[in-house]
Copies of this chain bind each other. A is one copy, B any other.
Amino acid sequence: MTIKDLARACGVSVSTVSRVLNNRPDVSDRVRSRVLAMVESVGYIPNGSARDLVRSRSDAIGVVVRGGGNLFFADVLKTVSREIDAGGYTMVLRQIGSDDDEVIQGAALEREKKLRGIIFLGGRFDYTPSELGPLGVPYVCCSYTNRFGSLKDTDYSSVSIDDFETARQAVDTLIGLGHRRIAALLPGCADHSISELRYKGYLAALADHGIPFDPALLAETGGCFEMPEAYAGMERLLEQGADFTAVFALSDTMAIAAVKALTDHGRRVPEDCSVIAIDGLKMSEYTIPTLTTMVQPAEEMGRESVHLLLELIEGRGEPRQLLLDARLREGGSIRKI
């Protein structure tokens, strides 16, 4: 059924139906209720694609998600999707692998889908201005910054926590409970990524308290954020007989795998070994023991990313970097020694 059929059925003009559907005031109450009753009874749905053609500009916002296995991203994505809808735009999703280049993928998506803007959910921390040249629309880096890159602060937008500081707080929490032999479970230490930043926060916390860094307490997963590799990394430390009383893990999922490896090797958490992480997944409130973790505000991160992007698209704001606070969620996976 078209708007013409609907107008004919109501005995009014097409423009009157249009005014009712757009909730405009210049229609009598009598006509309005007649049209709405007819809309209801025939189940008419306004044809947005015709509106789109008239508007002539696309309303598509691209969301490029890097590394599909990240449960934290799944939480952020839910809010991003809702906020894009609420803003009257269409979300076009592209999931890419951890090894794919999000900028090249984003630029391709931009041309293919006439995007108005892009949200990168996960990406590199070391962009140069020329690498971002192919992007012709505003973008927001969601969950990461340009800490190792050379973009000017006035040239890009991001919403993230302070990864360095959050890691320092997590490790500081362990030290405050008496731990001095603290293992670190991380994808890598010099990869210009979130992992390097959190590794540096770990080192800073040790240094703050005059604790020497021991490379034998470092479990790297070869750049991988997944649970099987985290489990294997933890297992390697245990089999090498590394001497530690606590573990700082990059993420909740890596921590959950670490707890599993410790348990499988007869080490109880937290009695024999404390474990702390960063993320704050809902899921990790139900692990045994409940994971103690620094919570990244997933909902706020998703919401602010979309708001920043819409400001840029609609010419209401300038590029800027938003740092959100992470807070400690107390669980049962750490203890005083």
Contacts and interface: CB of A to CB of B under 8 A. Distances in A.
Contact of A45 (B85, B90, B111): B111
Interface stretch (A6-14, A157-165, A183-191, A256-264): A256-264
Contact of A107 (B45, B231, B263, B288): B45
Given A253-B283, A286-B257, A288-B259, A43 B113 contact: no
Interface string A64-92: 00001101001000100110010000111
A208 interface: no
Given A74-B71, A74-B74, A93 B91 contact: yes
Interface in A217-267: 227, 231, 253, 256-257, 259-260, 263
A45 B260 contact: no
A127 B48 CA distance: 25
Q: Summarize A's interface: helix, strand, loop or mixed.
A: helix
A78 B233 CA distance: 26
A112 B90 contact: yes
Contact of A81 (B43, B78, B93): B93
Contacts of A52: 112, 114
B286 A49 contact: no
A34 interface: no
Contacts of A336: none
Nearest to A85: B94
A170 to B, nearest CB: 20
Copies held by the complex: 2
Contacts of A259: 286, 288
Interface centre among A71, A74, A257, A290 (most CB of B within 10 A): A74
A45 B260 CA distance: 46
A129 interface: no
A47 interface: yes
Interface residues of A, number: 46
B288 A113 contact: no
Nearest to A226: B282
A207 interface: no
A178 interface: no
Interface of A: 43, 45-49, 52, 58, 68-69, 71, 74, 78, 81-82, 85, 90-95, 107-108, 110-114, 133-134, 227, 231, 253, 256-257, 259-260, 263, 282-283, 285-288, 290
Given A45-B107, A68-B78, A78-B95, 11 more contacts: A45-B110, A47-B111, A48-B111, A52-B112, A90-B92, A227-B283, A227-B286, A231-B286, A256-B283, A257-B286, A287-B288
29 contacts: A43-B134, A45-B107, A45-B108, A46-B111, A47-B111, A48-B111, A48-B113, A49-B58, A49-B111, A71-B71, A74-B74, A78-B95, A81-B95, A82-B95, A85-B94, A90-B92, A90-B112, A91-B92, A227-B282, A227-B283, A231-B286, A253-B283, A256-B286, A257-B286, A260-B286, A260-B290, A283-B283, A287-B287, A288-B288
